[in-house]
């Protein structure tokens, strides 16, 4: 059975690790330098823990990288610096799968770093919440060895091979996230503005739940610090397509402001489902 290494075992990473472990894979990660929350998520997912990140790289045939978007280049550089790669036996190069929300251009740059160090690379992206929250996340994959990753024993998540071109899976994420997180940003700003003008009740009655519930807005706020870099990545992606980057640079400013508010200090799993729009507005 293929050993899966996991770099970044937070909310999403541990969820994907659980989905693969439930399929029968040995999934290993390291908690060196990670928070108590990450340790709890890893324990709940039933993942095996290695002492050091280098130990994860030493034994894994497939290495999934799930970090905040801004940390993707540093994660690639750390993997590329792994001193144990030359000691591996066999002719098959270990495979790095970058699942971060980055622009196609940055996916190509990350691929160049890890392939120069002796790894093969698959570009990936994730659509949907962690499988531990709600089964059904789609894992988009592209690159010459994408089919191998899709062929792993995924449960509670659906792999989708986009093409053999590095950057294609990231392009999917940049387009879908522009809608999902753009609309959530609009809803967040609408709640805050309506509250400031003391018209929150009629605004919510008019909008209904078409653009997100108070609970969903609150959960998004807890991830706002990650969204900032993701908005910048979407802006780069749209600029590369000949479109203005201004829209998503503005959304980056929105999420940066949200990240500075008390609600952003919570974690997604601690947000009460019965949270009200007034409570959300007050905490923002």
Q: Domain ends where: 135, 166, 197? A: 166
Q: For the chain, list residues with pLDDT below 50.
A: none
User: How many Å apart are CA 131 and CA 37, to the nearest integer?
Assistant: 17
Which residue's entry shows tokens 């999403």? 12
pLDDT number for residue 92: 74
Q: What is the pLDDT of residues 189-203, one digit of tens each?
A: 999 999 999 999 999
Residue 201 belongs to domain spanning? 172-283
Residues 6+ apart with CB under 8 A from 127: 137, 138, 140, 172, 173, 176
pLDDT number for residue 210: 85
User: How many Å apart are CA 85 and CA 119, to the nearest integer?
Assistant: 9
Residues 153 and 251 in one domain: no
Residues 116 and 80 in one domain: yes
Q: How many C-alpha atoms does 9 have within 13 Å on its Cβ side?
A: 35
Q: Domain ends where: 138, 166, 194? A: 166
Q: What is the pLDDT of residues 85-144, one digit of tens each?
A: 655 656 678 999 999 999 999 999 999 999 999 999 999 999 999 999 999 999 999 999
pLDDT number for residue 1: 75
State the chain's mean pLDDT as an integer: 95
pLDDT number for residue 179: 97
User: In this structure, what CATH number is given to the domain that contains residue 39?
Assistant: 3.40.50.720
Residues 258 and 277 in one domain: yes
How many domains does the chain contain in total?
2
- For 163, phi then psi, to 5°, come to -170, 180
Task: With both helix axes pointing from N to C terminus, report the angle between 104-116 and 72-80 in degrees, rounded to the nearest 10.
Answer: 10
What's this model's pTM, rounded to 2 decimal places?
A: 0.94
Residues 6+ apart with CB under 8 A from 59: 3, 5, 28, 50
User: In this structure, what CATH number is given to the domain that contains residue 249?
Assistant: 1.10.1040
């Amino acid at each position: 059975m293929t050993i899966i290494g996991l770099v970044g075992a937070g909310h999403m990473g541990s969820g994907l690790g659980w989905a693969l472990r439930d399929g029968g894979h040995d999934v290993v990660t390291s908690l060196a330098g990670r928070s108590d929350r990450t340790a709890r998520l890893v324990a709940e997912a039933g993942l095996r823990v290695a002492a050091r990140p280098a130990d994860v790289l030493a034994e894994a045939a497939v290495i999934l990288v799930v970090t905040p978007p801004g940390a993707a280049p540093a994660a690639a550089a750390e993997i590329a610096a792994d001193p144990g790669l030359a000691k591996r036996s066999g002719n098959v190069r270990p495979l790095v799968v970058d699942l971060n929300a980055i622009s196609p251009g940055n996916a190509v740059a990350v691929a160049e770093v890890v392939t120069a160090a002796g790894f093969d690379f698959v570009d990936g992206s994730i659509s949907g919440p962690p499988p531990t929250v709600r089964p059904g996340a789609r894992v988009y994959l592209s690159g010459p060895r994408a089919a191998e990753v899709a062929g792993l024993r995924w449960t509670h998540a659906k792999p989708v091979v986009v093409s053999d071109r590095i950057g294609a899976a990231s392009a999917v994420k940049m387009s879908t996230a522009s809608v999902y997180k753009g609309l959530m940003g609009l809803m967040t700003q609408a709640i805050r503005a309506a509250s400031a003008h003391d018209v929150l009740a009629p605004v919510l009655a008019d909008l209904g739940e078409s653009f997100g519930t108070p609970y969903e807005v609150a959960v998004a706020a807890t991830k706002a610090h990650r969204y900032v870099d993701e908005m910048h990545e979407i802006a780069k992606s749209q600029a590369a397509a000949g479109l203005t980057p201004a829209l998503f640079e503005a959304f980056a400013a929105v999420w940066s402001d949200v990240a500075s508010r008390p609600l952003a200090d919570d974690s997604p799993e601690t947000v009460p489902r019965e949270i009200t729009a007034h409570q959300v507005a007050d905490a923002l």
